[in-house]
Amino acid sequence: MRNNLILRRKELLEGVNSGIPLHKVVKSLMVKYGKTRQTLYADWKNRKTWIDQILEIDQPQEYFKKIVGRHEDLYKKCVEQWLSASSETTKTNCLRLLRELNMD
């Protein structure tokens, strides 16, 4: 059971770190591990208490700076795409992604 907890939290971090919106990572892990949405969001909310153990990193702040940097890059690219898009569908999808990024 402890091993599943570690794996689940590690996958949660890796998914969000790779740029996948939190709610999509949560949905995937709900199916994979049979956990509730509330459990997974609680894991994410309390990540400061377990991130050192999961990732075994010396500087968790640097890790979070990388995540925020990637998040900001996605945001910038999405805004650029939205400004240059001629299709209403593309603009709508960009706005939808911006909303998801802001939710995380």
pLDDT digits (tens, 9 = 90+) for 36-67: 999 999 999 998 888 888 777 556 677 778 77
What is the pTM for the complete model shown? 0.57
How many domains does the chain contain in total? 1
What are the two backbone dihedrals, phi and then psi, of residue 50, each rounded to the nearest 5 degrees?
Answer: -125, -5
- Percent of the residues in the chain that have a pLDDT greater than 90, as a whole number: 31
Domain residue limits at 85: 2-103
SS3 for 86? Answer: coil
- Structural tokens at position 9: 């939290």
SS3 for 76? Answer: helix
> Among candidates 7, 35, 102, which has minimal Cα distance to 15?
7
* pLDDT exceeds cutoff 90 at 35: yes
Provide long-range contacts, Cβ within 8 A and 24+ apart, for 32-36.
Answer: 33/4, 33/8, 35/8
